[in-house]
Amino acid sequence: MTGDGIVDTSEGRFHYLSRGNVGDPLVLCLHGFPDHPHSFLPMMEALADAGLHAVAPWMRGYAPSVLEGPYDVEQLGRDAVSIAAKLSPDDPVCIVGHDWGAVATYSALAEGPEHFRCAVTMAVPHMFAFVRNMRRYPAQLKRSWYMMFFQLPGIPERVVPARDFAMIDKLWRDWSPGYQLPDYERRLLMDCLAASMPAPINYYRAMTRPLSGIAERSSRVEAKQRHLAVPTLYLHGADDGCIGPNLGEGQERFFTKEFEAETYQGVGHFMPSEIPEVMARRVHGWQQRFPS
């Protein structure tokens, strides 16, 4: 499991995949769970063909990048800011985040907005909208069963990798109905997860532990993320089995610059894998609207 490059930052060492020419406008792509940078490659190649330099790091907790925590939202944002600043110190970049990568993107826009010319987030809306809309759409609680399961001590560490990560196969099937992850890509993903456990599930535990600090952390994050001042495009699949499209309703109130949202029919959760060329065109188009 190797990448095309390594970036040493103040937050740790991150390995990354890269497509396009160094010196072209940078697009920083952040993956989610259960995923890794390879899922971005077709989209990254299309971005490179359009004259952009696309970079996708293994996120904190995903081998071969730094495995140690903390894994809280603020740390993920600092990681993204540090990578962007190191790879493009003179020009703000376009940041693209899918799933947990979207969560990290919102945090990065709050932590260091000057480093980003624009953002594209996929499949996970602004977390304030997500939490508020769960009250309006309680069916999301059933979709989010895995978040509660990951809070159990010790059990997820045994269940997730069992039978060659059968649970991960189920999540991909349920979240992107009708999409089949190619065998070679599946093997790369499962090998990455095997080398990374339990860090990927500790992202979810960091949301609730330690219990004594939840109110303080929530207040701190809310103060930072209530008014994000970077133009943002939000993309969601209509058939997403992980998070319903309606969970993003009203999120525009948390953005003070341009904000647009689009829903794609016949597409599930793993949008960069399912429709990479479409995603690349939207990222490129959005990026062109906001030259540095």
DSSP structure class, residue 249:
T
Integer Rg of the chain from CA: 17
**152 pLDDT above the threshold of 70:** yes
Domain range for 211: 5-288
Region 123-132 average pLDDT: 94
**37 pLDDT above the threshold of 90:** yes
DSSP 27-52: EEEE--TT--GGGGHHHHHHHHHTT-
Place of tokens 């009708």: 178
Region 143-162 average pLDDT: 96
CATH number for the domain spanning 128: value is: 3.40.50.1820
Question: Taking a C-beta distance cutoff of 8 angstroms, is the pair 52, 24 a contact?
Answer: yes
Region 79-101 average pLDDT: 97
Of the listed ranges 33-47, 78-92, 217-231, 251-265, the least confidently predicted one is 217-231
**292 pLDDT above the threshold of 90:** no
Question: Taking a C-beta distance cutoff of 8 angstroms, is the pair 73, 23 a contact?
Answer: no
The predicted structure's pLDDT at residue 221: 60
Query: What token pair was written down for 194?
Result: 């095997």
In this prediction, what percent of the chain has a pLDDT beyond 90? 90
β-strand partners of 24: 22
Q: Is the pTM of this model over 0.75?
A: yes
Tell me the pLDDT of the chain averaged across its residues: 94
Alpha carbons within 13 A on the beta-carbon side of 66: 17
CA dihedral 219, 121, 94, 89 (to 10 degrees): 40
Tally the domains of the chain. 1
**95 pLDDT above the threshold of 60:** yes
The predicted structure's pLDDT at residue 225: 74
Query: Between the CA of residue 244 and those of 5, 35, 51, 103, 124, what are the distances in Å?
Result: 35, 19, 34, 16, 9
Banded pLDDT at 54 (limits 50, 70, 90): very high
State which amino acid sits at residue 101. Answer: G
Place of tokens 């925590």: 69
Of the listed ranges 134-138, 148-152, 251-255, the least confidently predicted one is 134-138
State which amino acid sits at residue 111. Answer: E
Q: How far apart are CA 233 and CA 209, in angstroms?
A: 31
- Distance, first Cα to last Cα, the chain: 34
Helix axes 127-136, 214-225, angle to 10 degrees: 110
Q: How far apart are CA 266 and CA 138, in angstroms?
A: 23
**215 pLDDT above the threshold of 80:** no
**213 pLDDT above the threshold of 50:** no
**161 pLDDT above the threshold of 60:** yes
DSSP 275-287: SHHHHHHHHHHHH
Region 240-255 average pLDDT: 96
